[in-house]
Structure 1
Amino acid sequence: MSALSDQLVTFAILAYLVAMISHAVEYALGDARRRTAAAAPARELVGAGVGATGEVEPPAADDAPPVRDRVAERGRLAGRIAVAVTALAAALHLGALVTRGVAADRMPWGNMYEFVLTVTWIGVAAWLAVLVKRPGLRQLGLFLTLVQVLLLAFAELKLYTEVVPLVPALNSYWFIIHVSTIVFSSGIFLLGVVPAVAFLMRNGYEQGRRSFPYTLAKRLPAAAALERLTFGLHAFSFPIFTFAVIAGAIWAEAAWGRAWGWDPKETWAFISWVVYAGYLHARATPSVRRNVATWIAVLGFLTVLMNLFGVNFFFTGLHSYAGI
């Protein structure tokens, strides 16, 4: 089961890569369609008339659809393929998690490698759920699949750990309660940073900035839609993250005799909580511009990454279960 899990992770990374390429093709064909439409001369309207022979000539008929329509259809096909392959990758990803859990005879959250696998799966599953309800946001898939490929490849190459039993300190029912909510909220934050960055790019493009990276945003949905999605995802995830931090404090009291000890993980979890609370407060304050609030959301995800990777690599504490 452990070997099967490893193989499924590899196949999932390859599938996410194919989905990313398909999204990039849709993006490129969308640009090609616009360039074709701009470069094509205006079609001359010719009505029926009398020819040189005195016979009435019928109007000319188009034998083939316009080039831009064919290009657009190919772009839409590439987008649909990208979504289908993303769903396949998510299924492979889930299979890797399930087989990893079966091999370990526990929930697959015992080390940093397994945590990254789970967080990234939550992010892509939430993305597919969003896409069912709002298919017009499909262009965001390019950025999400890029994030998936990078994180999973990093986990596979740098964080991989052999299947081992759960360390004694984690043998508690609080393991399920605390870690499941941390994993879930982190996965939603992972998804939330994608429209946040996309909004910042698209908003700059709509304001007339045509330099890199703003020109990458010309195929993205409207800035207002991206900003609403960013807020909705963070407003949904923040209470779950708050409960996870509280549950962790209760577990720490039971396991170590204190609810809070300024352990590096605890400290960075608190920093993340403060930053995300600041984002929601800024978003609800009319005097704060939306792009400023969104930058706070991006900063919040950077603190999550610091808690996930930086703390495990550079600090030692009671939460040192990374397995690296």
Structure 2
Amino acid sequence: MPVNQTYAQFSDTAFASAFIIYALALILSLVYYVKQQSIIDAHREAVRQRELVNAGGVSDSADPTESASTLIDEETLAAREESARRLANMTQSLMWLGVLVHLASVVMRALSASRFPFGNLYEYILMVTLFAMLAATFVLQRPQFRVMWPWVITPMLALLFYGGTELYADSAPVVPALQSFWFPIHVSTVSVGASIGIVSGIASLLYLLRMWQPKGNEKGFFGAVAKPLPSAKALDNLAYKSAIWTVPIFGLGVILGAIWAEAAWGRFWGWDPKETVAFITWILYAGYLHARATAGWRDTKAAWINILALATMIFNLFFINMVVSGLHSYAGLN
């Protein structure tokens, strides 16, 4: 079937537009992040001053000028907080817009070749980043998590940039090996599981940073970076709850791939490099859940397993697809 070049061009334009929208959202989120740092510093200074007054370290005079000064400081702080809230809301709105335009790019890509958009590594990255952005946009709606946007958008933009430049492939029919009923079912399930796993892994990374720089006792450059982050408990819970979704969905994707392998190659499992590393990734995510529920492992040990699972998935996405030769080599560059 011939490729509809109009839809293909629309898809490329929507891809570029989504990238720009995400980049603008990143800029706003960084400004919000910096504002949150100053707001936290101001709140902590106010608490310190109140403690000094209560302890008798500072004269608690009823000087009208001093009271007016304090009132202005409180109003200024309230104005800063309102400004930060507006930035957070604008970031959230831009993210929803970016997801919609991103989705339009995927749909147009599918319509251009009359197939599901999973035919090459560019399209796979397009789908994984879409699902990851969608999952993050839902999860990070809560005010305490909105400071995490720079940590999520930055790697997604890096993936999109690399996919759109180095891995880009023109819209075309898929190779005969991918013309199967199982193709969209298997790849879409794996994509959803992987995208949620990315969110979980990022949350575990930030959890380790927060554990290293405890709330209220941050020090140095990394302390300043960690200051606006939620508590370690909140980040750990986010990583755990995300992994709860990752394990069954990603595992189902691996099982569906095995069923397709039996139909296509006459065996459920052949220790092909890609399927093997995918299985190892699933084992690591499942191991993280087990460690997270095991006494003595509910601290940084479990988080390191989750991060290792994320690293293994990224290794599978790039190195296995692009360097190692196997039965899944057609899923790499066209």
Instruction: Give the aligned residue type for 1:323.
Output: L
Which among 106, 128, 132 is matched to residue 115 of structure 2?
106
Which among 143, 147, 152 is matched to residue 151 of structure 2?
143
Instruction: Give the aligned residue type for 1:4.
Output: F
Residue 317 of structure 1: how far off its partner (Å): 1.1
Which among 274, 280, 291 is matched to residue 282 of structure 1?
291
Matched, 1:300 2:306: no
Residue 70 of structure 1: how far off its partner (Å): 2.2
C-alpha contact (below 8 Å) 2:147/2:228 kept by paired residues: yes
Distance 1:60 1:309 in 2: 60
Residue 234 of structure 1: how far off its partner (Å): 0.5
Which among 180, 191, 206 is matched to residue 199 of structure 2?
191
Which among 7, 11, 16 is matched to residue 13 of structure 2?
7
User: Match for residue 120 of structure 1?
Assistant: 129
Q: Percent identity?
A: 36
Residue 174 of structure 1: how far off its partner (Å): 0.8
Residue 67 of structure 1: how far off its partner (Å): 2.5
Residue 38 of structure 1: how far off its partner (Å): 6.2
Residue 68 of structure 1: how far off its partner (Å): 2.4
Change (3 A) 1:284 1:63: closer
Residue 290 of structure 1: how far off its partner (Å): 2.0
Give TM-score scaled by structure 2 length: 0.87
Instruction: Give the aligned residue type for 1:138.
Output: R
**Partner SS for 2:227:** helix
Task: Encode CA deviations 1:136-181: one digit per residue, 9 max, x unaligned.
Answer: 2111112111122111111111110000101111111111221111
Q: Which one has the largest radius of gyration? A: 1
Distance 2:169 2:88 in 1: 35
Give TM-score scaled by structure 1 length: 0.90
Matched, 1:163 2:179: no
Structure 2, unaligned stretches of length 5 or more? 1-6, 54-59
User: Match for residue 56 of structure 1?
Assistant: none
User: Match for residue 83 of structure 2?
Assistant: 74
C-alpha contact (below 8 Å) 1:205/1:215 kept by paired residues: no
User: Match for residue 323 of structure 1?
Assistant: 333
User: Match for residue 261 of structure 1?
Assistant: 270
Residue 209 of structure 1: how far off its partner (Å): 5.8
Distance 1:205 1:93 in 2: 35
C-alpha contact (below 8 Å) 2:273/2:326 kept by paired residues: yes
Which among 151, 161, 167 is matched to residue 153 of structure 1?
161
User: Match for residue 88 of structure 1?
Assistant: 97
Distance 2:139 2:90 in 1: 17
Matched, 1:223 2:239: no
Distance 1:266 1:243 in 2: 13
**Partner SS for 2:261:** helix
Change (3 A) 1:69 1:274: same
C-alpha contact (below 8 Å) 1:23/1:79 kept by paired residues: yes
C-alpha contact (below 8 Å) 1:195/1:226 kept by paired residues: yes
C-alpha contact (below 8 Å) 1:46/1:60 kept by paired residues: no
C-alpha contact (below 8 Å) 2:246/2:285 kept by paired residues: no
Distance 1:258 1:115 in 2: 25
Q: How many residue pairs end up in the alignment?
A: 314
Instruction: Give the aligned residue type for 2:206.
Output: A
Task: Encode CA deviations 1:285-319: one digit per residue, 9 max, x unaligned.
Answer: 11214211011101101111111111112111111
Distance 1:26 1:319 in 2: 43
Instruction: Give the aligned residue type for 1:174.
Output: W
Change (3 A) 1:174 1:65: same
Which among 24, 27, 30 is matched to residue 24 of structure 1?
30
Residue 210 of structure 1: how far off its partner (Å): 2.3
Task: Encode CA deviations 1:177-205: one digit per residue, 9 max, x unaligned.
Answer: 21111111011111212211111111211
Distance 1:127 1:15 in 2: 16
Residue 131 of structure 1: how far off its partner (Å): 3.2
Matched, 1:46 2:46: no
Residue 46 of structure 1: how far off its partner (Å): 3.4
Alignment of 1:199-210 (within 5 A): 199-206=207-214, 208=217, 210=219
Distance 1:197 1:38 in 2: 26
Alignment of 1:52-67 (within 5 A): 66-67=75-76
CA RMSD, aligned part only?
Answer: 2.4
C-alpha contact (below 8 Å) 2:18/2:102 kept by paired residues: yes
Change (3 A) 1:38 1:181: closer
